[in-house]
Amino acid sequence: MVVQFGKCRLEIVQGDITQQKVDAIVNAANSALAGGGGVDGALHRAAGPTLMNETRALYPEGCPTGSAVATTAGRLNAKYVFHTVGPVWKGGTSGEPDQLASCYQTCLELAREHSCQSVAFPAVSTGVYGYPIDLAASSSLKIVRRFLIDHQTPELVRFVLFGEGAYGAFARVLESMTE
């Protein structure tokens, strides 16, 4: 499903984020940038050791929740990986929505700084970190839509959702944005 905001395209697809051919792929990392399971494990495996070598050298103190840092992309079909750290879901009253929005905002700012015209995001925080998928879909799409309308860059933002459930949750929110 695709929605156009001016000259920018916001797209949702079901698939594997490691297979995307875009300027930047976003990783759902942890604050130590220590690698892990889910998207993080899959991206490190597909990219090779470059990611870990660079995060260790450039960001030895890790990355705070709600922020993001950039590395090159090793063997992935991308120029950069933006490692963002989503909030752990604690019921929704500990600042999780703002922290999640801040992940997307920071990644889109990094895309602008690095002249990236296409960015692929996973549904940050909705796996190991337990963020309810419907709430994540709503917050994530809202902040991305706002950024695209305000800045008219990057040309393409693609959410790559891992299953039908996640795709359906994002599709329902995106549909409501076109009404």
Q: Looking at the annotation, which residues are catalytic?
A: 40
Closer by beta carbon to ligand AR6, 60 or else 179: 60
User: What's the CA dihedral at 60, 125, 21, 69 to 10 degrees?
Assistant: -20
140 with 104: CB under 8 angstroms?
Answer: yes
| Token pair in block for residue 25 | 């792929």
* 86 interacts with ligand AR6 by CB under 6 A: yes
CA–CA distance, 19 with 30 (Å, rounded to integer)? 21
For residue 22, give the nearest of 82, 81, 84, 78 by alpha carbon: 78
For residue 18, give the nearest of 81, 69, 111 by alpha carbon: 81
27 with 173: CB under 8 angstroms?
Answer: no
Contacting range for ligand AR6; rule: CB under 6 A; set: 2-10, 11-19, 90-98, 141-149: 11-19
Binding flags for ligand AR6, 99-128, as an x/- string (CB under 6 A):
-----------------------xxxxxxx
Q: How far is the CB of 64 from ligand AR6 (least distance, A)?
A: 14
- Contact pick of 166, 169, 173, 174 for ligand AR6 (by CB under 6 A): 166
- Contact pick of 121, 159, 162, 167 for ligand AR6 (by CB under 6 A): 162
* 138 interacts with ligand AR6 by CB under 6 A: no
Task: Please report, as residue ranges, which positions from 14 to 53 form the binding site for ligand AR6 (by CB under 6 A).
Answer: 16-18, 28-30, 36-40, 42
Closer by beta carbon to ligand AR6, 4 or else 53: 53
- Which residue is listed with tokens 């008219």? 152
> Cis peptide leading into 154, omega within 30 of 0?
yes
Report the 10 Å Cβ neighbour count for 77.
Answer: 12
Closer by beta carbon to ligand AR6, 80 or else 170: 170
Residues near ligand AR6 (CB under 6 A) are: 16-18, 28-30, 36-40, 42, 86, 122-129, 160, 162, 166
